[in-house]
Structure 1
């Protein structure tokens, strides 16, 4: 009886494994959803829609965008983490997803254990912009002013714990200055207040600041990434003054843990091909971002460094969401 039971169980396991292999071999055979953790119209949503359009052709199946905003991206993350690990529901993660590990006391999912990194899609620099009336026109001059006037330099952000806030924390650490953080409910109102003169500087996502820079409504003093951005070639990296200064935002595709390796490989290869397409690259660059299109292994290695970086900056900022 025991032998028969064992054979029955072994048979069921074999059937389940065979079904899994067949499903992976036929992937994809229906629509794929990419879940965006923010509302439509933002930079993450725009990048995802650019990617989805190209992936539809690469995978010969519809790839659609599904927006599930709320709780700093945790609602969407939890939804995808609980989804079937078959490659048909994916998560568009961001640098916020990694910062949340240290920002939140508890999270409904563990992005390091409950997901498989598929590919980093883009990397977006932040740009240090200033109100036109500010006398300082370079990083060096700004630091001199900040050192002579501790706490008098106000910098805005899209909220406590955001990449804009934490870039300011990094700047304070590396420049040895003390500034005053002014959080807003989103990057857009912060940029608006900077244009109006209510705050003096801001580490803004390039995608949000580009039109203001080009129209001359603000002046750009430096980039937070280690190399120049083609959209603003005359703006120097802050790293030219403070070597090692390198922080920015990014977007990347994740699948639920347990997704078959063959499916992960199919998705990764299709994404790399889609992102490297000249038309896709131009669309992404026009948004103020840098196309990446990494492999799953490359994305995983990148994330390990990101966890360390954002943990350090969150701890230094004292930001916390309970």
Structure 2
């Protein structure tokens, strides 16, 4: 028989041990991120470079961190629906956003934006930068940026330039070109790049500023003619195509993608995700796939990515002001 005092002493020790074990397990669970599925919100329709980039990185993160990172498309309102969904999510690292040029543009392009991207999103990591390229119909009698500018000046009102929609980087790259070159052409917005490129090939539209991802194969196969890329340097995907800035000094745009979470996402989670995303770019298979897309990896820590987002937002604010374009 055990005495009452001994029983209580034994039970007390067991209780403390249980509480200690429970506290340790709870603390470990708090630290063990991720412990379940992570949603990766892409604020665009399925398909295209945004999905390819996202699925590449999500597969890498799933393999490395042991939990599924699942791509979820939330298109609409120029990326605003998906972006606001992430901003309004708990800051626990389980809802992430594929950030993009659209976020930098909308900050100044959309006066009625229902959120403040700069304070609503915690920058996590860069993913990739994609050059744009000015492509034209093969029957247009120009073979360089200088000839295109001369033709536009000699034929006012005869050129139409497609884009993937009003307020996109494709649209505003054209508007910046117009302002810097002193030319005029008609902007024709489409619901995505594909229908615009189709009409450029058919000759209904004379040209388009487009991501190299969706147009380089058309250039390589001779279905479109490339006049210049929008980045400061040549693109490895189209190495024979010079930068537009060689003709228009100071001209430079591109599309970029990165990752963000809701504001106040814990720094340790941000740093973990940043390390793993940067590690993905050392994977030969991922590097090769990015190269096929014409994408240039964006590396660096979360603070460097935050600085890049701020710089891109300011860059596009100036483009919006110069172009005189605003969402109505």
Gaps of 5+ in 1: 1-17
Task: Report how far residue 60 of structure 1 moved.
Answer: 2.2
5 Å matches for 1:238-317? 238-317=244-323
Task: Report how far residue 227 of structure 1 moved.
Answer: 0.9
For 1:87, the equivalent position in structure 2 comes to 93
For 1:197, the equivalent position in structure 2 comes to 203
Q: TM-score, normalised on structure 2? A: 0.88
Task: Report how far residue 193 of structure 1 moved.
Answer: 0.4
Gaps of 5+ in 2: 1-23
* Residue 223 (1) aligns with residue 229 (2): yes
Aligned match for 2:177, one of 166, 171, 174: 171
* Residue 138 (1) aligns with residue 155 (2): no
Higher mean C-alpha deviation, range 22-31 or range 66-75: 22-31
Partner Cα distance (2:198, 2:26) in 1: 52
Deviations along 1:122-156, one digit per CA (max 9) or x if unpaired, are: 10111000100011101111111122223322211
Q: TM-score, normalised on structure 1? A: 0.90
Partner Cα distance (1:23, 1:195) in 2: 56
Q: Which has the larger radius of gyration?
A: 2
Work out whether residues 121 and 294 of structure 1, in 8 Å CA contact, stay in contact via their aligned partners in 2: no
Count matched residues: 305
Partner Cα distance (1:53, 1:248) in 2: 26
Partner Cα distance (2:71, 2:31) in 1: 24
Partner Cα distance (1:103, 1:70) in 2: 16
**C-alpha RMSD of the superposition:** 1.8
Partner Cα distance (1:315, 1:186) in 2: 24
20 and 222 in structure 1: CA distance in 2 versus 1, 3 angstrom threshold: farther
Aligned match for 2:113, one of 107, 114, 126: 107
Partner Cα distance (1:261, 1:24) in 2: 13
For 2:54, the equivalent position in structure 1 comes to 48
* Residue 152 (1) aligns with residue 158 (2): yes
Partner Cα distance (2:30, 2:315) in 1: 35
SS in 2 for 1:113: helix
Deviations along 1:39-69, one digit per CA (max 9) or x if unpaired, are: 1112111110111111112222211111111
Work out whether residues 58 and 274 of structure 1, in 8 Å CA contact, stay in contact via their aligned partners in 2: no
Deviations along 1:68-109, one digit per CA (max 9) or x if unpaired, are: 111111111111111111111100011011111122222232
Task: Report how far residue 25 of structure 1 moved.
Answer: 2.5
* Residue 127 (1) aligns with residue 136 (2): no
